[in-house]
Structure 1
Amino acid sequence: MCGRYATTVDPALLAVELDALDETSGPGGSREPAENYNVAPTDPVLAVVSRHSHEHPDDIPARRIRRMRWGLLPSWTKASEPGVPARGAPLFNARADTAATKPAFRSALKTKRALVPMDGWYEWLTEPATTGKAAKVPYFMTPADGSRLYAAGLWSVWRDREADTAPLLSVTILTTDSVGELQSIHDRMPLILTPDRWDRWLDPDADAPGDLLDPIDAAVAAGIEIRRVSDRVNSVRNDGPELIAPVAAPGSAVGEQITLL
């Protein structure tokens, strides 16, 4: 399960790192803020795709950085009014093991696969509180070495054929069974892809290799830190680096090894 995450990378920097084209500028060259420590469904997010050029479709596909709505909108979604898709539950996650059989995801799995960069993701663990009542405590999962994660995603293009409006790009994050200590937090986690798998995953001219949909390697999971964080992240209105800073569990010190219940 991944319903909230943090991302701080600037798309221009990401384009340089990945040898990709930055296609995130809005009208007049405007840009969305690069940092969001409390990304929630329907927020605009960065996604990495690989596509052929419209002008030269026979050329080798190039990596492109695009901004999309988090919460996949199938292309067949009807419009509620001109240029506005009908409301529905945001499809912000898709199970890697069943995406190929789900009408909302199976077409995207064949031709529209993406990488979603993130600093880490949040989950909530129900723990006994000091008052005796259970409380949901937020945790942040992030690489212990400070690097960036790339989650497997699927994307879609929605257009209202009856209205002269720009197409809406949207993306969902694939989830898989949790591995190692991450199982102590939640039984599901984002499907993290390491660099050696990116080209095969993004290839727009080939079906997704089945092995890329398997749970992540135990060594990758072992490199992910589980960090207790402030309950300020509970509200999507809050943002800022303090949301991912470690906090001490009651009766312990910050930096002390967390023992999960």
Structure 2
Amino acid sequence: MCGRYATTTDPGRLAVELDAIDETEIPGDSGARGSASVAGEDADTRRDDRRPGVNYNVAPTTQILTVVDRHTHEHPDDTPSRRIRRMRWGLIPHWTKAAEPGIPVKGRPLFNARADKAATLPSFRDAVKYRRCLVPMDGWYEWLVEPDPSGPGKGKKPRVVKHPYFMSHPDGSRLYMAGLWSVWKDRSLDDPEPLLSCTILTTDAIGDLTRIHDRMPLPMPPERWGAWLDPDHPAPADLLEPPSEELVAEIAARPVSPLVNSVKNNGPELLASPGDAAEQTTLL
């Protein structure tokens, strides 16, 4: 699964790198709506605001950067353009009912979708056909669960300890994960504001990553972006299959600071090794 990740890019730089249109600041764009209006949370409390878009502890319901290919409304027959958009991480199906005007019913955030089942599930199957995206990230976190060395507890369940790991390219290059997105509107309103939301596809872990967790986000290599983002055709079935061992071999897992365990913590210190993090805490 993928329930937490880190990103150090901003929409302007991403747009330049991908020759894309930055739509994150469009007036009235649903990306400008904070997740507090959807999930009762303030995503800004988890952001590192030293640079726009930087977040070392991205969690579900946060507004995140995504990459899509879309036609313009004025010219629906033109060539699709690559665009950078903000979306709520946690897909809201278009058929979701409204809890109150302009706000969907709360539920468990659909922040992950199994790549092998998404095409058949009501929450995701429409998005698999025509609303696919990329989610850029520096890397993602996962927790290795081991028996507690202090021994079992008094309850029925054995005690365990969880060690956070960060999966990324050793050279720091960016990862792009396959995602799905949706547009939700409160149809009871005369002029409903669209709310964009997304989910990250997951697949079976490959190679050395299996020692950390049995699932992982589905990486999408650049040579397959065109087919994946194509807004006019369903995704080829092979794009939903597990990645090649060669592709995953470029991703390394390393232990990081337990500070990442709390979404209240946010900063580059989260990526420090456990020993370095403990030393920093002692010095502070």
Q: Does TM, normalized by the shorter one, top 0.5?
A: yes
Secondary structure at 1:182 match in 2: helix
> What is the 5 A alignment of 1:226-241?
226-241=253-268
TM-superposition CA deviations, 1:113-157 (whole Å, max 9, x none)? 000001100111112455445311110101112100000000000
Q: How far apart, in 2, do the equivalents of 1:125 and 1:220 lie?
A: 22
| Alignment counterpart, residue 89 of structure 2, candidates 66, 70, 82 | 70
1:204 and 2:254 equivalent?
Answer: no
* Map of 1:151 onto structure 2: 177
Gaps of 5+ in 1: 250-261
Residue 3 (structure 1) aligned with residue 22 (structure 2): no
Aligned with residue 140 of structure 1, among 166, 176, 189 = 166
Aligned residue pair count: 249
The answer to whether residue 80 in structure 2 is matched with residue 61 in structure 1 is yes
The residue aligned with 1:254 is: none
- The percent identity for this pair of structures is 65
Which region of structure 1 is more displaced relative to structure 2, 122-131 or 109-118?
122-131
Q: What's the CA shift for 1:84?
A: 0.6
Aligned equivalents of 1:151 and 1:103: distance in 2? 22
Shift of 1:227: 1.0
Q: Say which of 99, 107, 122 aligns to 2:118.
A: 99
How is 1:1-261 mapped onto 2 (pairs within 5 angstroms)?
A: 1-25=1-25, 27=27, 33-129=52-148, 131-132=150-151, 134-163=160-189, 164-248=191-275
Answer whether contact 1:228 1:248 (CA < 8 A) is retained.
Answer: no
Gap change, CA 1:101 and 1:235, over 3 Å in 2: same
Aligned equivalents of 1:168, 1:125: Cα separation in 2: 35
User: 1:43–1:56: structure 2 CA closer, same or farther, 3 Å change rule?
Assistant: same
- C-alpha displacement at 1:247, in angstroms? 2.8
> Offset of 1:245 from its aligned partner?
2.1
**Take 2:198 and 2:4, find their aligned partners in 1: how far apart are those partners?**
14
User: Within 2, Cα distance between the matches of 1:99 and 1:28?
Assistant: 30
**What secondary structure is seen at the aligned counterpart in 2 of 1:138?**
strand
The separation in 2 between residues aligned to 1:206 and 1:245, in whole angstroms, is 43
State whether residues 7 and 118 of structure 1, in contact with CA within 8 Å, keep that contact through their aligned partners in structure 2: yes
CA distance in 2, matches of 1:93, 1:235: 20
Corresponding letter in the other structure for 2:93: P
Tell me the secondary structure at the aligned position of residue 196 of structure 2: strand
Distance 1:52 1:4 in 2: 31
Question: Once the two structures are superposed, what CA deviation does each residue of 1:48-102 show, in whole Å capped at 9, x if it has no partner?
Answer: 0000011111110001000000000000000000001000110000000000100
Which stretch of the first structure deviates more once superposed, 158-167 or 99-108? 158-167
CA-based RMSD of the aligned residues comes to 1.9
Contact 2:258/2:274, CA 8 A, preserved across alignment: no
Q: Secondary structure at the match of 1:16?
A: helix
Kindly state the Cα deviation for residue 28 of structure 1 after the two structures are TM-superposed: 9.2
The question of whether the paired residues in 2 share the 8 Å contact of 1:123 and 1:140 is answered with: yes
Higher helix fraction (1 or 2): 2
Residue of structure 1 equivalent to 2:36 = none
Moved more, 78-87 or 211-220: 211-220
Equivalent AA in structure 1 for residue 179 of structure 2: G
